[in-house]
Amino acid sequence: MTIQRSAVLSDDDYTVTEVAGHAPAGLDDVVGATTVVVTRDGHDYPMVGTGARTAGAVHFHQKEIGSAEDEVLVWTIVDRGNGRLVAEPPVSDL
């Protein structure tokens, strides 16, 4: 199950629990093409995409597998300290 555009309607952050099959050690783990699992309210959501480092964060461009859409969801992933990465969902156009 991947996070679809319609599922991201909340301003709540998601905890990054896995990057490329392991627990994240820091923001550099999310840079480049990779897989990410985010968790919220006890539910895991796997994502596939590419992360690009910015000042103090990574912009993760989520690819929607099997979608013909050109648009991608862009998450902002930040380090809250102690190795805790948090993914801030894209702003909804709804």
Q: What is the pLDDT of residues 5-47, one digit of tens each?
A: 445 545 679 999 999 999 999 999 999 999 999 999 999 999 9
Q: Does residue 93 lie within any of the structural domains? A: no
Average pLDDT, the chain: 85
Nearest to 73 by CA among 57, 54, 55, 87: 87
- Residue 79: predicted pLDDT: 95
First to last CA, the chain: 22
Q: Where are the beta strands (DSSP E) in the chain?
A: 14-19, 32-40, 43-54, 57-63, 73-79, 85-88
Q: Does residue 94 lie within any of the structural domains? A: no
Residues written for the chain? 94
What is the count of structural domains for the chain? 1
